[in-house]
Amino acid sequence: MTGKTHAVMGASVGIAISSKIPGELSIIAVIILIISSLLPDIDHPKSIFNKYILPVKNKMVKVSVYGGIGTILIVFNIFYRNIPELMVIGMVLIIVAFSSHRMGFTHSILGMIVFAFIVNYRALQYNNIYLVYYFIIGYSTHIIGDMCTNRGVPLFYPLKGKNIKFPFTFRVGSNNGKFIEDIIVIISILYIAYRFPMLLKLK
Ligand SMILES: [Zn+2]
């Protein structure tokens, strides 16, 4: 699915079920919904996410940027700090550097748990443990969305096996695929517009 579809789907689902989960919907929660629904594609050099992070959008640059930052974080942490979470972030960046799109880590349950662990750590520091729920909602809508496509996702990575997908799927970029994604985007935007008065009151 395209980044645009993932973002509006994550935001609308999160807004729709916000009253059912602990912790109030806030502006930060909406931002987290959007970021987390785009995050799994961080392993793709041309994804929306990397549009703003990578200076040049190719594999080599992706490996160098994420691998470099990850290594610096780990070395810095070993010599100057001793924060387990920093270690985890460094390791995740290195995994992201080397994992290819849809082939691994970021589109798996394991990836979601590891990222949620990092978000939870930050949320605890800001005294807002509920933000992690919104993170999980955004992230899982991305994975579920990609399960609707013919390539599926390696849900149980690092266990090897076929990618997991729904019985009825579409191919991203095909006419059917574009039509289905357009429908998702329109419904999501209509729903967000419908809830707009409530969103304006968010803090
Ligand atoms: Zn994806």
* Each residue's pLDDT tens digit, 43-66: 888 888 788 788 888 888 888 999
| Dmax (CA) of the chain | 54
Distance 107 CA to ligand 1 centre (A): 7
pLDDT score of 101: 63
Centroid of ligand 1 to alpha carbon of 196 (angstroms):
27
**Arithmetic mean of pLDDT over the chain:** 89
Residue 68: predicted pLDDT: 94
Return the pLDDT at 103: 64
> What's the 90 CA to ligand 1 centre distance in angstroms?
22
Residues in the chain predicted with pLDDT less than 50, given as ranges, are none
Q: What is the pLDDT of residue 167?
A: 94
Determine the straight-line distance between the first and last CA of the chain, rounded to whole angstroms: 31
Cα–Cα dist 150/169, whole Å: 5
CA of 125 to the centre of ligand 1 (A): 29
